Amino acid sequence: MLKGKHVLSLMEFSSKEVLDVLELSERLKRKRRNGVYPLLLKNKTLISIFMKPSTRTRISFNEAMNELGGHCIDLTANELQLGRGETIEDTARVLSRYADVIAARVFAHEDVVRLSKSASIPVINSLSDAFHPCQVLADLQTIKEKKGLKGVKLAYIGDGNNVCNTLLIGGSLVGIDIYVGCPKNYKPNQDAIDFALKIASKTKSKIIITEDPNEAVSGADVIYTDTFISMGVEKEREERLKIFLPKYQVNQKLIEKAKSDYIFMHCLPAHRNHEVTDDIIDSKNSAVWDQAENRLHAQKALLTLILLKKSEIKV
Ligand code: CP
Ligand code: NVA
């Protein structure tokens, strides 16, 4: 059951729980298209804290609570006493007295773990240096809509970062094959690989980490990339560009090895002509705008499922 759960990496989810989020998200998306907004979270409050910038996550969480009849208070860390040294633990205890759920975007993953340990309400990781679970729920919904989940091969090309780690976890839970093509020292984290391999042995999916982007992309249904320079590693910019370019750029030459009806995905923001060329992100195969839209639907579903019992969700 998802009610009351912290959402830190998706490792805390079962396959069924991920599929439940996708299913409710699809239902809410259909209703919204027909102008129907079920007020499932009336009188519920989300406090959403950002220690790093955000466009999609901040706005989609805010809008998610609005559309569900609830309320969102979103703040940057510097607007809180947290920015002047109040501890994460004390902040968690206080916020738990005001709200129903907390979302936090942090630098060190440990910070959102600490928040969850001292909060008496659910805590959602809205991006840490290690994981980005809300992104991947929306990504899986996008893949399901465009390709289904059965027999799908996803190639992630580039930096084995927070998005890549979470794709390994979420992708293995729904049984898709994940191939990661990344440089030797930029592999996804070992915990995420180990989790994915363990789950994949049950779901019969493949998890392959390779330094060869062509091997990863060969026959792929989905090609996914993200920035080479995540928030927090800006100082490594020059060194990283030398390592990643041109070998790990998603461009016309690389995608020729994919299936002809492949879809291109990116969590955004994109750094055009670094990790992906304009012609690919702007092509008819690009799913990035639907993917960004699905952040809203997936977060509406996630918030509903962690705040309500299934029997209370009448949509
Ligand atoms: N994809 C994503 O999380 O975007 P923002 O940084 O704009 O929230
Ligand atoms: N990997 C990127 C994702 C941004 C949404 C970062 O952490 O900056």
What are the pLDDT digits (tens) for 36-52?
999 999 999 999 999 99
Please say if the pLDDT value at position 23 is more than 90. yes
- 139 shares its domain with 288: yes
What CATH number corresponds to the domain at position 243? 3.40.50.1370
- 170 shares its domain with 283: yes
Residue nearest to atom 7 of ligand 2 (CA): 230
If one residue of 128, 132, 189, 295 were mutated to test the ligand 2 pocket, choosing by the most ligand atoms within 8 A of its CB, it would be 132
pTM of the model: 0.98
User: Where in 221-275 does DSSP place strands (E)?
Assistant: 222-225, 263-266
- Is position 315 within any domain? no
92 lines ligand 2 (CB under 6 A): no
Q: In 3-state terms, what secondary structure has residue 145?
A: helix
At residue 198, the pLDDT reads 98
- 43 shares its domain with 63: yes
- Is position 274 within any domain? yes
- Is position 2 within any domain? no
- Is position 8 within any domain? no
Please say if the pLDDT value at position 77 is more than 90. no
Q: Which residues line ligand 1 (CB under 6 A)?
A: 54-57, 127, 135, 267-269
162 lines ligand 2 (CB under 6 A): yes
- 139 shares its domain with 283: yes
**What are the pLDDT digits (tens) for 136-192?**
999 999 999 999 999 999 999 999 999 999 999 999 999 999 999 999 999 999 999
CB atoms within 10 A of CB 16: 9
- 128 shares its domain with 270: no
Q: Using pLDDT thresholds of 50, 70 and 90, give the confidence band for residue 213.
A: very high
Task: Provide the domain count of the chain.
Answer: 2
Q: Is 237 exposed, middle or buried (0-12, 13-18, 19+ CB in 10 A)?
A: exposed
At residue 284, the pLDDT reads 98
Please say if the pLDDT value at position 67 is more than 90. yes
Count how many residues are written for the chain: 315
Active site residues: 105, 132, 135, 226, 267, 295
- Is position 117 within any domain? yes
Query: Which of 249, 244, 171, 181 lies closest to 215, judged by CA?
Result: 181
Average pLDDT, rounded, for the chain: 97
Domain with 231 in it? 135-292
Please say if the pLDDT value at position 10 is more than 90. yes
- 59 shares its domain with 87: yes
- 174 shares its domain with 286: yes
- 184 shares its domain with 68: no
- 127 shares its domain with 175: no
> In whole angstroms, what is the distance from residue 4 CA to residue 46 CA?
14
At residue 37, the pLDDT reads 97
- 50 shares its domain with 63: yes
**What are the pLDDT digits (tens) for 251-293?**
999 999 999 999 999 999 999 999 999 999 999 999 999 999 9
At residue 184, the pLDDT reads 97
